[in-house]
Amino acid sequence: MKKVVKFGGSSLADAEQFKKAAAIIQADPSRVYVVPSAPGKRFGKDTKVTDLLYRMFHEAEEKKDFSETLNEIRSRYSAIITGLGLKGFTLDREFEEIEKEMLTEPDADFAASRGEYLNGRIMARYLGYEFIDAAEVIFFYEDGSLNLEKTTVVMRRRLERVPRAVIPGFYGQGFNRRIKTFSRGGSDITGSIVAGAVRADVYENWTDVSGFMVADPRIVSNPVRIETITYRELRELSYMGASVLHEEAIFPVRHEGIPINIRNTNAPEDDGTWIVESTCQKSGYVVTGIAGKKGFCTVLISKAMMNSEIGFGRKVLQAFEENEISFEHMPSGIDTMTIVVHEDEFKDKEQRVVSAIHRMAGPDSIEIESDLALIAVVGRGMKSTRGTAGRIFSALAHAHVNVRMIDQGSSELNIIIGVENEDFETAVKAIYDIFVLTQI
Ligand code: ASP
C-alpha cells in the first residue's frame, strides 16, 4: 500500500498545524510521499505566505524596499522552525538566495514557488524524509502547459529509488529551465502528479474541511457530507469543488484509476470524501450534490426554420469564439438557441458578439438577459430514479422561485436550473431540503 499525501496551506500554517500533519503521516506507514503547500492563514485576517511572496515580488520589481515583507515571510518560517524544535536547522542560505534574486532579476513564479519550497525543506527535515525539489521532476511545455509524459517518466524513475520523500507543491521547471508555477491552489495538481507517477493506491488531500458537502455550508446550515462522488459528478459540480480541490488535479490520478480522498487535518478521524472513477455505492440520496453560481447572462438567438438550417449553430458559436468567450451551457428550441455565458467575461464584448452573430448567422433577433444564477443538481442515482425533475420543480414552485432555464445533460447525471440571482440561495435551500432534509 502506497499513499501520496498533500497538505494544504491551512494544514501547515504554523508549528501546531505542522505537528498535526506529521502525526497523520506517522500514523500510517503507507503515507510515503508528502506534498506540502506554503503556510496559509492562521486566522481569518491573516495573509498567506504565497500572497506575501507575490507582494515582495511586486515591490522588488518596482525597485521598492521589500525588506519588511521579506522579514515577515522569514518570521513565519522561523516561528515554525522554533515551534517544531528543529535545532541547528536554518533557512538562512535559502533566504539569502531569494533576496539576491529579487535584487537582480525578480521573477513572480520564482518568488511564489519559494512558499512551498521552504515549507518542503522544513517538512523533510522534521519527518526525516528526503527532499526532492519539484523543479527536478515536474516539467512544462513552452506554451506553459504541463508536460505530463516527461514529468511522469522522470518522477517515477526518481522516486523508485527513494522510499519516502517530500516534494513541494505548486511549481516545476519551465521550458526555459526557470521555475514555473501552476495557477493558484496548484499544490493539489502536484499531489495528483506524484500519485499518478508512483501509481499510488490513494491520493489523500488533507485540508481544513471534512470533504465535500452536499450543498454550500454558507447557504445551507450543516449540510451532510458527500461520502463518495465520481470524477464526472465532481466536474458537473465544479462551481462547488473549486475551493476544495483544484479542477486540474483530477486528470493525473484519473488517468491511472487512483481515488482521491479529501480529509480534514483538524479532524483526522473523519472519513472525508472519496472521489472515484465509478462506484456501486449509492450516494445515500438521489442527489449527490447541489452547487451553483451567480452572474451569468443568456443570449437568446431566434431564427425561423433554424432547425433545418445547416451550420447555423456553428456560425453562432464562431461569433463567441472569435471574441474569445467560452460558453457554459447551450439549451435550444426549434427556432431558438440560447448561449449561457459568464457576465463578467461577456459584458465588455457583448456588442461585438451581437454584431458578429448578425454578420455570420443572420438571425431574426437576439435578446440578452442578465442576472442569471445557475444551479447544478447532480447525482449518479438520478438516472434510475423516477420523478427527480418533478421534485426539483415542485420544491422551487413552493419556494416561489421562478425557473428561467432548464438544461438536462444527456448523461442524466445532472439537471441545470437557471434562476434569478436574487433567488439563488432560496432555490439551493429548497432543493437541498426536498432531497436531503426530508430523507433524514
Ligand atoms: N500556495 C499556493 C497558493 O496559495 C498553492 C497552493 O497552496 O496550492 O495558491
Contact status, residue 421 vs residue 373, Cβ threshold 8 Å: yes
Half-sphere exposure (CA, 13 Å, Cβ side) for 134? 37
Higher pLDDT, 438 or 86: 86
Of ligand 1's listed atoms, the one at least distance from the Cα of 190 is: 8
Q: What is the pLDDT of residues 195-205, one digit of tens each?
A: 999 999 999 99
Q: What is the pLDDT of residues 396-431, one digit of tens each?
A: 999 999 999 888 876 778 899 999 999 999 999 999
The per-residue pLDDT for 381 is 83
Report the CATH number of the 3-276 domain: 3.40.1160.10
Q: What is the pLDDT of residues 5-43, one digit of tens each?
A: 999 999 999 999 999 999 999 999 999 999 999 999 999
Q: Which of 7, 17, 41, 48 to mutate to test the pocket of ligand 1 (most atoms within 8 A of CB)?
A: 48
Contact status, residue 137 vs residue 172, Cβ threshold 8 Å: yes
DSSP 242: T
pLDDT of 366 over the 70 cut: yes
The per-residue pLDDT for 242 is 58
Q: What is the mean pLDDT of the chain?
A: 94
Q: Average pLDDT, stretch 302-326? A: 94
Of ligand 1's listed atoms, the one at least distance from the Cα of 185 is: 8
pLDDT of 241 over the 60 cut: no
List beta partners, residue 35.
6
Contact status, residue 7 vs residue 21, Cβ threshold 8 Å: yes
Q: Which of 184, 194, 205 to mutate to test the pocket of ligand 1 (most atoms within 8 A of CB)?
A: 184
* Contacts of residue 438, Cβ cutoff 8 Å, sequence gap at least 6: none
List, chain by chain if needed, residues with CB within 6 Å of any ligand 1 atom: 9, 37-38, 48, 50, 115, 169-170, 184-188
The per-residue pLDDT for 203 is 98
Assign domain 289-439 to its CATH superfamily.
VC0802-like (3.30.2130.10)
Ligand 1: residue whose CA is nearest its atom 2:
185
Q: Average pLDDT, stretch 388-395? A: 92
What is the Å distance from ligand 1's center to 113 Cα?
9
**Domains in the chain: boundaries:** 3-276, 289-439
4 confidence band (pLDDT: 50, 70, 90): very high
Nearest to 245 by CA among 296, 287, 297, 190: 190
The per-residue pLDDT for 440 is 61
What is the Å distance from ligand 1's center to 255 Cα?
23
pLDDT of 99 over the 70 cut: yes
Of ligand 1's listed atoms, the one at least distance from the Cα of 183 is: 9
Nearest to 215 by CA among 434, 438, 428: 428
Q: What is the pLDDT of residues 327-345, one digit of tens each?
A: 988 988 999 999 999 999 9
Of ligand 1's listed atoms, the one at least distance from the Cα of 187 is: 8
The per-residue pLDDT for 223 is 93
Q: Average pLDDT, stretch 77-98? A: 97
DSSP 44: T
What is the Å distance from ligand 1's center to 367 Cα?
41
Of ligand 1's listed atoms, the one at least distance from the Cα of 170 is: 5
Of ligand 1's listed atoms, the one at least distance from the Cα of 116 is: 1
Contact status, residue 349 vs residue 297, Cβ threshold 8 Å: no
3-state secondary structure of 248: helix
pLDDT of 305 over the 60 cut: yes
220 confidence band (pLDDT: 50, 70, 90): very high
281 confidence band (pLDDT: 50, 70, 90): confident
240 confidence band (pLDDT: 50, 70, 90): low
What is the Å distance from ligand 1's center to 47 Cα?
12
Q: Average pLDDT, stretch 297-301? A: 95
Q: What is the pLDDT of residues 127-175, one digit of tens each?
A: 999 999 999 999 999 999 999 999 999 999 999 999 999 999 999 999 9
Percent of the chain at pLDDT exceeding 70: 98
What is the Å distance from ligand 1's center to 170 Cα?
6
3-class SS string, 284-295 = CCCCCEEEEEEE
437 confidence band (pLDDT: 50, 70, 90): confident
